[in-house]
Amino acid sequence: MTSLLHLDSGAHRSGESVSRALTALFADAWRARHGSTGYRYRDLAAEPVPPLDTAFCALGRRVEREGMVPPDRVAALAGDPAEKETWAVTRPLITELLAADTVLIGTPMYNFSIPAALKAWIDRVSFPGAFVDPVSGDSLLRDTRVVVITPRGGAYGPGTPGEGWDFHTPYLRAYFARHGVAAENIHVVTAEMTLAELAPHLAHLRPLAEDSRAAATAAVISLATERSASGTSISTERSASGTSISTERSASGTSGGRPGDGETDRVDGARRADLVEWS
């Protein structure tokens, strides 16, 4: 049975949230194709994963001292009630992640990086040895597909004022790749310039935001209805305004490459130096 773990991490939980609208679209399309049995949802903003504590670190250090300890044996190493409790919180999150064929993550850019709610989940599930096959030593995430959906108020493509300031998608790519997710199974969908939809002084950039959102929507539907990238690409050119938006999915994968490689829906600012800077 195929399975989807759907995580939302944006603090804004109203119907205006771009990340939540796009992840919901993905989930709906996925369920239409695969049914609901393998679907699992976790709202990391509504039900935050507790931040790490001394007990988590102490248990982790004990496991590190033992060498490779599979999750099944960690409980036996828990030394006191606090360690047992922190493992009781952590273990189901790891199990849930490992059970997923596809992990869908809604993660707006916050201060050039990921929301704290998502970081708390990452810190928890990255317990020592959690992703390592105890027999073969291979990554248990080697066949996992990760789809990251990330709206942002500004633009971070080549030539924009934000170029070089995206510490969000390079971090997530590096994190999942380091834990064994295959490069071709990491997909990033960005919807840029979402602030333009709100701010009057950015009204002239709304067409860019709309195009980016439309391209993101198309990419989400495509990713939700296919098992993996097939090397196709979609591009939209708006010659009248001199802007371009490209949607690309690389068959050879993108992780480990330049930040921005293979990402969808980036606003290309090479010809538009007037794109908004965040804050």
Ligand X SMILES: Cc1cc2nc3c(=O)[nH]c(=O)nc-3n(C[C@H](O)[C@H](O)[C@H](O)COP(=O)(O)O)c2cc1C
Nearer to ligand X, 54 or 111 (CB): 111
Nearer to ligand X, 110 or 127 (CB): 110
Residue type, 94: I
Among the listed residues 34, 91, 145, 152, the single contact to ligand X using CB under 6 A: 152
What would the x/- binding string for ligand X be over residues 62 to 101, using CB under 6 A? ----------------------------------------
112 is an interface residue for ligand X by CB under 6 A: yes
Q: How many CB atoms lie within 10 A of CB 207?
A: 15
In the complex, minimum distance from the CB of residue 175 to ligand X, in angstroms, rounded to a whole number: 18
Nearer to ligand X, 154 or 253 (CB): 154
Two structure tokens written together for 198 = 């709100």
- Return the DSSP state at 275: P
131 class by beta-carbon count within 10 Å (0-12 exposed, 13-18 middle, 19+ buried):
buried
- Interface with ligand X: number of residues (CB under 6 A): 18
Cβ(255)–Cβ(177) under 8 Å? yes
Q: Of 9-38, which residues contact ligand X (CB under 6 A)? A: 10, 12, 17-20
Among the listed residues 44, 45, 109, 125, the single contact to ligand X using CB under 6 A: 109
Give the closest residue to 115 by CA, choosing from 7, 23, 203, 245. 7
In the complex, minimum distance from the CB of residue 168 to ligand X, in angstroms, rounded to a whole number: 8
In the complex, minimum distance from the CB of residue 69 to ligand X, in angstroms, rounded to a whole number: 37
Q: Of 201-260, which residues contact ligand X (CB under 6 A)? A: none
44 is an interface residue for ligand X by CB under 6 A: no
11: helix, strand or coil? coil
Q: What is the dihedral of CA 173, 178, 255, 123, to 10 degrees?
A: -10
In the complex, minimum distance from the CB of residue 42 to ligand X, in angstroms, rounded to a whole number: 16
CA separation for the pair 50, 123 (Å, rounded): 10
Residue 190 bridge partners (DSSP): 150
In the complex, minimum distance from the CB of residue 162 to ligand X, in angstroms, rounded to a whole number: 7
Question: Can you give the three-state secondary structure of 217-229, one letter per residue?
Answer: HHHHHHHHHCCCC
In the complex, minimum distance from the CB of residue 159 to ligand X, in angstroms, rounded to a whole number: 16
Look at strands 145-151 and 186-191 and give their pairing.
Answer: parallel
**Residues at the interface with ligand X (CB under 6 A):** 10, 12, 17-20, 108-112, 151-154, 194-195, 278
